[in-house]
Amino acid sequence: CRSLGIPARAVTNYYSAHDTHSSLTVDLFIDEKGQDVDKMNTDSIWNFHVWTEVWMARPDLEPGDYMGWQVIDATPQEKSDGLFRLGPVSVKAVKRGEILKPYDCPFVFAEVNADQISWRYLGPKQPLKIIKKNTDKIGQRISTKAVGCWDREDLTDSYKQPERTKEERDVVLKALRESNHAYSRYYLNVDLEDVSFDFDRLEDVMIGSDFVIKLKASNKNAAKAYPAQVIIRVEVMSYTGANKMPIKVNSYNVMIPPGETQLVELPITYGDYARHLHSQCLFNIYTIASIREVKYDYIAQHDFMVRLPRVKINVRHLLQFVGLKTRYGVKDLNFRGFACIVPRHDKQVGQGLLDKTG
């Protein structure tokens, strides 16, 4: 784009949603045993995704203020009108939840601001039930290179309102109403206030180490005990959220006494995961707990990466060239028809945009 005179910059979106059916949600379907319903689970969350912003006018969207940065994608994840392409999408339209503005605004909106929803699926003739929703995981630290230096410039506020604010929720609901997808009709779930589950997150595990998955089940009712069925599954996966491979699954029957907390643990040894890790060393931890007596379900997912050891090399002295002075000669060789290629080092590499465009 810059070669054509169009101001452009690369943008990286962390925890980028891949919405395959334009529902503006990332949907995970599980059955009554806590297993993924693979035929329905086509959405995913990528560790990161990169696209390009270009600065241009949008007379096709007038009246309205849509001039400025537009999203295009040289590596689109879905087809648009039968072709792998995306954009241009007005960043301003994305922030406002105006997903009907061309082109491909619903997909970009989902990439940066989709809700992650877990559904209980019991069959094609049974109603779906939401058992968990996460509204602030998607679209974190949307970044580009700052002008004139190598610092990171945060663009998150350009794409959406601050997470967990009324303004952000209003925009999401506006977009969902415009999409009119069937899944949005099931956006209800009755919470059980007596019992809560807290999933301990793993943050700093060195590769080669063992670790333990912990789930705390707390009963706030001082008079009634609750029986719960808990399933914990640990998978390795690639950074795109694909190629998941379970390495350990276990189920537990837990009685939660009145006013007490029970701890459920699943130990993972290095031998469990050593042969299955992908290059990014990513894990997906998945927990589902059910209290059938009151038809309550809890689900949690957590992605984490085992830490690679830091390697520090100390050099006592500067490296010196070691060689031998040797004379040699060449004769009886025919070099006609050959060209000598001499490398040049006069190219200049800049630091991106030199002036702010907007």
Catalytically active residues, by annotation: 49, 73
Nearest Cα neighbor of 195 from 301, 297, 288, 302 is: 297
User: Rounded CA gap, 137 and 135, in Å?
Assistant: 6
Residue 69, both tokens: 């940065």
User: Rounded CA gap, 73 and 71, in Å?
Assistant: 7
Give the residue ranges of DSSP H helices in 114-200.
156-159, 166-179
Q: In degrees, to the nearest 5, what angle opens at C-alpha 116 toward C-alphas 169 and 190?
A: 75
Kindly state the DSSP code that residue 182 receives in the 8-state scheme: G
Residue 154, both tokens: 């945060």
User: In sequence order, which residues have a C-beta less than 8 Å from that of residue 271 and are 6 or more positions away?
Assistant: none
Distance in Å from the first CA to the final CA of the chain: 17
CB crowding 199-217: b at 16 or more within 10 Å, else e: beebeebeeeeebebbbeb
Q: At what angle do helices 105-113 and 166-179 cross, to 10 degrees?
A: 140
